[in-house]
Structure 1
Amino acid sequence: MMDYNKMPLLEEDISENLVIPNYVKIYDIIFNLIVEGVIKAGDVVPSENKLANYWKVSRGTVRMAMRKLEEDGYINKTQGKQAVVSTHALQYKDGFQWLFNPCIENCVDTIDEIKISAQYQPAVSTLLMSWGIKSREI
């Protein structure tokens, strides 16, 4: 098992406008440790209780991060047993924070086109015609 006391602490949010949930920060810390090879395939991840105490957050916060890591295939969890880093966890993937902060710096992509499409059901037109109502194209 890795020494969880050497894990990074949770960083404070940089600005008031950008608030990243703690479970996202925890996900990214563990994710980065896996990608950097600090935690290797087959290593046991510390328990949710130990991690919650270390980061001074609720166990539910750690559980959410661990559940997302499991869904993304980075760890394997079995009820009543400790979480283990997956053997195929080295598939590179972006961290989780991009969902909350997609454009901190170097944002140059502008929205220059918006496409909207709509469909109607021909059966509605037929039904209206059977009632004597003429349908119009929009």
Structure 2
Amino acid sequence: MVHRLKLSISAQNDEDKVAEEVTRLVDNGRWQLSDGNALEGVFKFRTFKTTWEFMNKVAEKCKEQRHHPEWTNVFNRTAIKWTTHTPRGLSLKDTYMAKFCDDVAEHLGEQYEADKPKGDETLKVCSIDAAGDCCARKEGSK
């Protein structure tokens, strides 16, 4: 359960509704609250192609909603952070887009990991170091 006082909610949003939606998302274990004003999550898929398809579907919805994430991608993982910059804080657009990401990921067969990183570690899983040898030439290959 997310404590209401830990939330920084964007002005002109129904505070109770945002708190309810954030609590639902965090309690499901797929999203973490970051600094009280953002939702962060990591999505992992079997292939880069599926990961890219996920990102394209989210990007299409972003254009429609006029709302974008902060995100990074390395090979088959995408780390996403939803927050509203103006006015600053969490908004119903953030919770809507986080839920949309969950739905698309489920449809595309996300390889859900219950032990997902928390807090500052979330975006680090999509660093170059986290890619491992996915981009390195295999021994014996030309």
TM class by smaller structure: under 0.3
User: Given the two structures, how large is their TM-score scaled by the length of structure 2?
Assistant: 0.26
User: Given the two structures, how large is their TM-score scaled by the length of structure 1?
Assistant: 0.26
In proportion to residue count, which structure has more strand? 2
Larger radius of gyration: 1
Which structure's relative contact order is higher, taking Cα pairs within 8 Å and 6+ residues apart?
A: 2
